[in-house]
Structure 1
Amino acid sequence: MTKSSFPKPRRTKSEVKTAGVQGTLYVVATPIGNLEDITLRALKVLNNVDIIAAEGVDHTRQLLRHYDIRTRLESYNQHNHKLKAPELLGHLNRGKDIAVVTDAGTPGISDPGVYLIGLAVDHGIRVTPIPGPSAVTSALSVSGLPSEQFVFLGFLPNRAGKRMMALKRLAFETRTMVFFEAPHRIRPMLNDLRGALGDRQMVMVREISKVFEETRHGPVSAILEGLTQEKTRGEFTLVVSGAKEDAVDSLSEGVLDRIESLLSDQDISTKDIAELISKEEGVSYRQIYKECVARRKGCLRKGLRREDEIQ
């Protein structure tokens, strides 16, 4: 397939108006694994832009070679994005068209592409999405879990303490949750998931669209049990069921005991108690506050009843 195989796309009147003044930044989704997953439109754009800003130049070069695309490649990644983005913005301001691509899937989702995109938007550059593969929607589509509403959380913190705190804050999240995880952290992540959220139903998708693709459904404990060393290779997408509605309205015994203990200290305000426990346990501030108010009112009623009995 040669460069001439891709005719220049016909421009709209609005595009012709700005031609020569500013270029367009194309946000191009590329295959997660299987090179055949790229769209015809993505190939056309990659062939016709002036520059491709690639997260991994060597990785993207393989894709371009496969389709005989010879567009100029420039490195744009997490290590150089703050220095490189202004340079690319200069090219855009001089009328050059640029495609930004990530190593796998859609740019701007848990990758440095978001920085360049934000900069372009701030400077009035036209930004156009070229849709295609996404690990988030691919994993959701095979999960069998509710997807009318979901929350994407990307990679959680590396440090165990911070990761556990982040997960505890999600204990009452009712929407389906989607995470990314690296192979060397998958086991600690699953252990923390079970510890913070309980033995939830989930789906673990490994190596989406690649030769060793694997999809496993079940409770967290079963996923952990089947996680051999061989199966900790590759990139992971985790889809985890949200909390049940009835669970959201209830607080654990440990949290209730903590509330009772702090309420006995008359020097701490209800607001301070709610803030403290919310941070400690990752539970909704509002939920703790309402429980504190209810218990304080209950104590007040008991006190009034006792006074009536004495009188």
Structure 2
Amino acid sequence: MIVQKSFETHDVGSLYIVPTPIGNLEDITYRALSILKSVSVIAAEDTRNTKKLLNHFEISTPLISYHEHNKHGREEQLLERLANGESIALVSDAGMPAISDPGYEIVKAATEQEYPVIVLPGANAALCALVGSGLPNKEFLFYGFLPRKQKDKEAELERLGRLQATILFYESPYRIKETLKSIQKTLGNRPIAIARELTKRFEEYVRGTVDELVEWANENEPKGEFCIVVEGSSEPEEVEKEAWWENLELSDHVKHYMEEGMSSKDAIKQVAKDRNLPKREVYQAYHV
């Protein structure tokens, strides 16, 4: 067990997780600016993008890149700096680091080595979209970006579609039409809202049903980054029961069906379906 007292004096550096504006620069907090000025270095997803933010607020703290493609190589360097007493601010291009952005790995590594990890509150697109959607927010699930492949995307939506919680997704303007159609196919015509360009000049919410938003997307050219908020299922969630065959060997599972009158071929086919296994594997287990 590790107990962190964030505001006590430490012999090592602290890792600060600093949210940055998702569009409107006025959304940065005084505390975030103070931390960005006081740390030894800022680890940024894109140093060029963060440099614009720092220049706007006249902050000259050195920058180091920390992104999806170099995060594992950077980890040891950042941990060494913390060990030497240097404090680090981690930022992404916009919003809260580690939420659909790099950051989880360095937070995990820092906590495991008992370096203080101090998270600042701040801008987050998903929560803005949820509150502004008008959909139930007592219970919600943030998913992030769905898989790109159509088959994988629809499989995930099928799984999530059984939840009664409101579901939040991020999506790009290039895939929003396709994703809305996948939601229509798998989840049906539920209440839904999308929010785009949050906190920026062209901020827009579109609220309605899935069918209405599919039509809207076909009639308009989607621009900007999107948050999708989908109402949860109105059906009670089924509690998954333990399968009756859970503790049976494959061969005994096959024999059970044969005792009920199935041929060995049909019994093997049914066992493969029950267990989501290749028929060949069941066949070999039965005949060996």
TM class by smaller structure: 0.7 to 0.9
The aligned residue for residue 39 of structure 1 is: 29
Q: 1:182 aligns with which of 169, 172, 180?
A: 172
The aligned residue for residue 125 of structure 2 is: 135
What is the CA distance between 1:225 and its match in structure 2?
A: 1.4
In the TM superposition, what are the counterparts of 1:128-167 in structure 2 within 5 Å?
Answer: 128-167=118-157
- Distance (whole Å) between structure 2 residues aligned to residue 107 and residue 58 of structure 1: 17
- Distance (whole Å) between structure 2 residues aligned to residue 42 and residue 199 of structure 1: 41
Give, as a single letter, the amino acid of the residue that structure 1 aligns with 2:150: A
Give the SS at the match of 1:166. Answer: helix
Give, as a single letter, the amino acid of the residue that structure 2 aligns with 1:15: E
What is the CA distance between 1:198 and its match in structure 2?
A: 0.5
Q: Which has the higher helix share?
A: 1
Q: 1:15 aligns with which of 8, 16, 24?
A: 8
Change (3 A) 1:208 1:87: same
Number of aligned residues: 249
Gaps in structure 1 of 5+ consecutive residues: 1-11, 250-262, 278-311
- Distance (whole Å) between structure 1 residues aligned to residue 60 and residue 267 of structure 2: 71
What is the CA distance between 1:223 and its match in structure 2?
A: 1.2
Verify the 8 A CA contact 2:177 2:218 in the aligned structure 1: no
Q: Deviations over 1:157-214 (max 9, x none)?
A: 1111111111111221110000011121111111101101001111100111112211
Give the SS at the match of 1:158. Answer: coil
- Distance (whole Å) between structure 2 residues aligned to residue 66 and residue 179 of structure 1: 31
Give, as a single letter, the amino acid of the residue that structure 1 aligns with 2:61: T
What is the CA distance between 1:14 and its match in structure 2?
A: 6.1
Give the SS at the match of 1:15. Answer: coil
- Distance (whole Å) between structure 2 residues aligned to residue 55 and residue 13 of structure 1: 25
- Distance (whole Å) between structure 2 residues aligned to residue 124 and residue 158 of structure 1: 37
- Distance (whole Å) between structure 2 residues aligned to residue 209 and residue 264 of structure 1: 66
The aligned residue for residue 267 of structure 1 is: 267
In the TM superposition, what are the counterparts of 1:1-311 in structure 2 within 5 Å?
Answer: 15-16=8-9, 18=10, 21-227=11-217, 231-245=221-235, 248=237, 267=267, 273=273, 275-276=275-276
Give, as a single letter, the amino acid of the residue that structure 1 aligns with 2:200: K
Verify the 8 A CA contact 2:195 2:206 in the aligned structure 1: yes
Q: Deviations over 1:24-43 (max 9, x none)?
A: 00000110000000011111
Change (3 A) 1:230 1:171: closer
**What is the root-mean-square deviation of aligned Cα atoms in Å?**
2.3
Stretch of structure 1 that moved more, 37-46 or 268-277: 268-277
TM-score by length of 2: 0.80
Verify the 8 A CA contact 2:194 2:205 in the aligned structure 1: yes
Give, as a single letter, the amino acid of the residue that structure 1 aligns with 2:58: D
The aligned residue for residue 256 of structure 2 is: none
Q: Deviations over 1:39-72 (max 9, x none)?
A: 1111100110011001111111111111111111
What is the CA distance between 1:15 and its match in structure 2?
A: 3.1
Change (3 A) 1:195 1:92: same
The aligned residue for residue 254 of structure 1 is: none
Give, as a single letter, the amino acid of the residue that structure 2 aligns with 1:213: E
Give the SS at the match of 2:64. Answer: strand
Change (3 A) 1:272 1:175: farther
- Distance (whole Å) between structure 2 residues aligned to residue 129 and residue 229 of structure 1: 41
Gaps in structure 2 of 5+ consecutive residues: 239-259, 278-288
TM-score by length of 1: 0.75
Give the SS at the match of 2:82. Answer: helix
Give the SS at the match of 1:179. Answer: strand
Give the SS at the match of 1:153. Answer: strand
What is the CA distance between 1:130 and its match in structure 2?
A: 0.8
Give the SS at the match of 1:63. Answer: helix
What is the CA distance between 1:270 and its match in structure 2?
A: 8.6
